[in-house]
Every structure is written in structure tokens, then in C-alpha cells.
Structure 1
Amino acid sequence: MNVDAESGVAEAIAGELQLMSPAVRSSRALVEQLLDPEFVEVGASGRRWDRRSMLSALPVMQGADEDGPQYVPTGMTGTVLAPGIVHLTFETVIDGRRARRSSIWRKSDEDAGWRMYYHQATPVPDA
């Protein structure tokens, strides 16, 4: 992987980790910086979210309270799909529930930086 690709993957991972942080999840302004204008998510519940609905709901969703359950990610890896497009995969645990996650980050221009374009979570059943 070249330096630009490594940098893109590192920036996407940093953004993903920020979105799991209660301080970011509870701040609409910070989340706006990390979600692409065309953001779409298919959550672990099967619900489809767009940017507007996610910005409204995220501050009260699980993981947004410093004193409550928080996301613990593992195995986060990234692949550059094309210039300015990074695909991340990983697992999370929150409050005893595991999910496999996949997200696509894109960089549209220098000012916006890397933003999450797509996210999907799939629950992992108990063994």
C-alpha cells in the first residue's frame, strides 16, 4: 500500500473511532463533519437511516452517554477501493451485543476531509 493509501485508511479509521466516542455522538456539529451529505446506513435493527435522521437520533442512541455502555471495536481493517474511497470492516461489542460492521468513507475535497458515506451493521448471534 502506498503512502496516500495508508493515509486514507488511517484517516477513515480515525473518523470511525471518533463516531464511536460519546463526546462526538452527543455533538451534532462534530457528527456533521464526519457524515457525508449523501450518508446512508442500514443499522443492526434493519432500519435504513439517512444523514438527517441519523443527526437527529445519534445524540440519544446507545453509546452517546459517557456513563453508559460504549462501543468496543476489534479487528478494524481498511482497503482502498479507488482514489478517495476506503472500505472499513470490523466488529463491535456494546452492552454485550456483537455486530459485524462495514463502512465506506470518501474524500470529496481537501476542505471536507474524509466522511462516512455508507455504514452497515449485522448482528452476530450468540454462539
Structure 2
Amino acid sequence: MSRETDEVREAIAGELRLMDPSVRSSRSLARQLLDPDFVEVGASGRRWTYDEMLAALPELDGAPESGPRYEPSDFTGAVLAPGLVHLTYETTREGNRARRSSLWRKQGAGARWQMYYHQATPVPPDSV
């Protein structure tokens, strides 16, 4: 197994943790996975900062334990530079699809992988 594969797998594991309702509803757990310089452009087109996302995440889609969850598929990843991984994948939630792209970075020895950037693009129902 290559180092690149390990890095991509670690980023995918972080991405999956961020979809877990127990993480989405816990600011302290989410904080561990989001880089302090985090920015997101959501499927709605809204731009989210680190502080805005941490404040809103417990109320956003996919957070309630009993509610509908994101179903991810087709993960692909590439190491862009040491400590920087780009992931792409697709999610479905209640029949709505989105294509997603995120950057994960790890800064320094002993650091953990954190999401630095995320973007979601809605997929129209009739698209392949």
C-alpha cells in the first residue's frame, strides 16, 4: 500500500465522520475535523466560514440522528502535495444528488487531517 493511498483513505475517513449525525451534532467533534481556515460553498451557493459552519452544523441536513442521512458514493482522491488531498464524490439524500469536492490538509508532525475547503454542486434529477 502506498503512502498516497493511506493519505487518501485518511481523508475519506474524515469525510465520512463529518457525515455522521453524532459528529454533525457535536461542535467539539466537528472542530477536530475542520481546519481553522475552512471555507465551504454549499449546494445552495452560500459561502460558509469555519465559525459559521460550527455554529450551524448541528441544525443542518444530516445532523438529526433519526433523520435522513447522506449516502456517499464514488469517492476518488489524489495527493496534490505533501499534506494536501483532494477528494471528489457524490451524495444522495432524500433523492437529491450532489457532486462534492473537498480539500483536506495535514500541517506538521502529529497533526490530524482536517477539511480545508468543501464545495457541493446539486445534480439535476435527469442528469447522469
Q: TM-score, normalised by structure 2?
A: 0.95
Corresponding residue for 1:80? 79
* Distance across 2 between alignment mates of 1:92 and 1:69: 12
Corresponding residue for 1:101? 100
User: After the TM superposition, which residues 106-121 of structure 1 pair with which residues of structure 2 at under 5 Å, given as runs?
Assistant: 106-121=105-120
Q: Percent identity?
A: 63
Tell me, which stretches of 5 or more residues in structure 2 are unaligned? none
Deviations 1:13-52 (A, max 9, x none): 0000000000110010010000001000000000000000
**1:8, CA displacement in angstroms?**
0.7
Corresponding residue for 2:21? 22
Corresponding residue for 2:42? 43
SS at match of 1:62: coil
* Distance across 2 between alignment mates of 1:34 and 1:13: 12
* Distance across 2 between alignment mates of 1:36 and 1:85: 12
Corresponding residue for 1:55? 54
Q: Is the 8 A contact 1:90 1:101 kept in 2?
A: yes
**1:3, CA displacement in angstroms?**
2.2
Amino acid at match of 2:96: R
Corresponding residue for 1:122? 121
Tell me, which stretches of 5 or more residues in structure 1 are unaligned? none
**1:126, CA displacement in angstroms?**
1.0
Moved more, 49-58 or 105-114: 105-114
* Distance across 1 between alignment mates of 2:79 and 2:111: 18
* Distance across 2 between alignment mates of 1:61 and 1:112: 27
Corresponding residue for 1:65? 64
CA RMSD after TM alignment: 0.9
Amino acid at match of 1:126: P
Aligned length: 126
Corresponding residue for 2:30? 31
Q: Is the 8 A contact 1:33 1:112 kept in 2?
A: no
